[in-house]
């Protein structure tokens, strides 16, 4: 932290043009009295979105009674100078690239629902994000080396591992709301107040597991079992199905969870039984664009905005570091002994204590073996994607797709290589030059 302004930190948003998400984070930040005078530095490469983000920030500050310094920067490095915290919410290629991630694999019969974590969509989202992360890491090292990088950009595990291996930054934590909202949802199912339960989850991002969940010292899993046994519709959810077979509840939605295993998307009957929405993320992309346009137009004509807090982790982390208030959040960090039966260099999601000393991950020990087995498959694909970039080896892109559970369950090896070639062609200008080779099948 800067010693000159310990209670007025500088917080830089990279990709601030993701206006809706930026608004929620700002509403959370300005809910803390100690952060109402923070310096909010906004960066985006899209001039219109940057201007909209700045206008939204000023509106939210006024609504929340905050008096921050707000600056907007087309130049990334300028936005980072003397930053204490850097929040990365960039989506490289925006909706156009995401549409490519769905449409090209679909020609091969490969089904995806969200496509941002694993699978061919996750692989190429990572590969087009890595050049930005490398440049961002270099800028941070030069102009704000003490800053904490709080990453929201997916694919989380790939990006966190890449940041650790390719940039040398150590003050990095990946943040995702999946554990928090999973526990909120489970508590609502059982009609137990969230504030009265204790729980622990661990694993990898979008495939962590609820290891412990208790109310007044009593395990809540037996009550969940009773509810599931009596509710056929609950049993038609992927993660409920996984929980019944694996013994621990996964911390991401059924749409997400279906993509990380070989059992569901390859089978039309399972898609129907479990009500899986193929291509669901494309609808989310369209809605995000529409929401941005509504925000832009409202700000332009002086209409009111409805902005609510999101309970995201980044504002809580910043508040804890600035004030010393201890909190537990869930963070994605390099494993390094936190989970014994997962690779040491992989990125894992674990509880983290946050206070004035920073983000301090919790050692979990060993996961139940069936859970670790799935997480290791996930991290194998992740590792190969990172190696493709750090070792300049385009074959590792294909190796990653071959190792991916859902892809391998659907396509022949020859089609996997042909698909990777088509994806490289489609995304070539966004990939580092060494990975643009078309290798043939």
Residue with tokens 């990453």: 151
Cα distance between residue 139 and residue 145, in whole Å: 9
- pLDDT tens-place string over residues 21-30: 888 899 999 9
Burial class from Cβ neighbours inside 10 Å (0-12, 13-18, 19+) for residue 217 reads: exposed
- pLDDT tens-place string over residues 115-154: 999 999 999 999 999 999 999 999 999 999 999 999 999 9
Structure tokens at 33: 């009295």
Per-residue pLDDT averaged across 158-179, rounded?
Answer: 96
Supply the pLDDT for residue 23.
85
Do 196 and 188 touch, CB atoms closer than 8 A? no
Supply the residues annotated as catalytic: 177
Per-residue pLDDT averaged across 291-315, rounded?
Answer: 83
**Would the CA dihedral through 250, 183, 156, 111 be positive or negative?**
positive
Residues 6+ apart with CB under 8 A from 133: 88, 159, 162, 163, 166, 167
Give, to the nearest 10 degrees, the angle between helix 221-229 and helix 238-246. Answer: 120
pLDDT band at 247 (very low <50, low <70, confident <90, very high): very high
For domain 10-175, say whether CATH 3.40.50.720 is its number.
yes
Supply the pLDDT for residue 292.
78
Cα distance between residue 208 and residue 336, in whole Å: 17
Cα distance between residue 274 and residue 264, in whole Å: 8
Residues 6+ apart with CB under 8 A from 163: 133, 137, 149, 151, 169, 172
Classify residue 203 by its DSSP letter: E
Q: How many CA atoms lie within 13 A of 257 on its CB side?
A: 21
Cα distance between residue 193 and residue 397, in whole Å: 45
| Range of weakest confidence among 14-18, 160-164, 183-187, 411-415 | 14-18
Supply the pLDDT for residue 6.
53
Supply the pLDDT for residue 108.
96
Q: Which of 428 and 404 is assigned the larger pLDDT?
A: 404
């Amino acid at each position: 932290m800067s010693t000159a302004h310990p209670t007025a930190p500088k917080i830089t948003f990279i990709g601030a043009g993701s206006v809706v998400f930026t608004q929620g984070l700002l509403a959370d930040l300005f809910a803390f009295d100690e952060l109402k005078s923070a310096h909010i530095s906004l960066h985006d490469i899209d001039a219109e979105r940057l201007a909209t983000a700045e206008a939204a920030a000023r509106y939210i500050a006024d609504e929340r009674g905050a008096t921050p310094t707000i600056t907007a920067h087309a130049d990334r490095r300028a936005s980072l100078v003397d930053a204490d915290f850097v929040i990365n919410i960039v989506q490289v290629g925006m909706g156009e690239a995401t549409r490519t991630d769905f449409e090209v694999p679909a020609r091969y019969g490969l089904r995806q629902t969200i496509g941002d974590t694993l699978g061919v969509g996750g692989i190429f989202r990572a590969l087009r994000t890595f050049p930005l992360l490398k440049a961002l890491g270099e800028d941070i090292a030069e102009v704000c080396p003490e800053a904490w990088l709080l990453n929201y950009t997916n694919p989380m595990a790939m990006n966190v591992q890449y940041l650790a291996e390719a940039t040398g930054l150590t003050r990095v934590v990946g943040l995702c709301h999946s554990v928090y909202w999973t526990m909120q949802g489970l508590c609502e199912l059982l009609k137990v107040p969230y504030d009265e339960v204790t729980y622990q989850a661990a694993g990898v991002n979008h495939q962590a597991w609820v290891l412990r969940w208790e109310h007044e010292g009593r395990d809540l899993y037996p009550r969940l079992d009773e509810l599931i046994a009596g509710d056929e519709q609950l049993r038609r959810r992927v993660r409920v199905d996984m929980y019944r077979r694996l013994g621990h509840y996964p911390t991401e939605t059924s749409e997400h969870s279906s993509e990380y295993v070989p059992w569901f998307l390859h089978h039309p009957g399972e898609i129907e039984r479990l009500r899986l929405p193929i291509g669901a993320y494309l609808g989310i992309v369209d809605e995000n664009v529409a929401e941005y346009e509504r925000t832009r137009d409202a700000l332009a004509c002086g209409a009111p905005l409805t902005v609510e807090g999101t309970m995201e982790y980044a504002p809580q982390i910043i508040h804890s570091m600035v004030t010393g208030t201890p909190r537990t959040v869930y963070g994605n960090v390099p494993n390094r002994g936190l989970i014994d039966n997962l690779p040491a260099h992989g990125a894992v999601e674990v509880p983290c204590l946050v206070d004035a000393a920073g983000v301090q991950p919790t050692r979990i020990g060993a996961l139940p073996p069936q859970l670790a087995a799935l997480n290791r498959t996930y991290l194998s694909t992740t590792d190969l994607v990172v190696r493709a970039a750090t070792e300049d080896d385009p074959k590792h892109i294909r190796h990653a797709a071959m190792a991916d559970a859902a892809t391998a369950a659907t396509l022949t090896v020859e089609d996997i290589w042909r698909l990777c070639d088509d994806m490289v062609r489609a995304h070539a200008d966004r990939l580092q030059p060494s990975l643009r080779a078309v290798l043939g099948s």
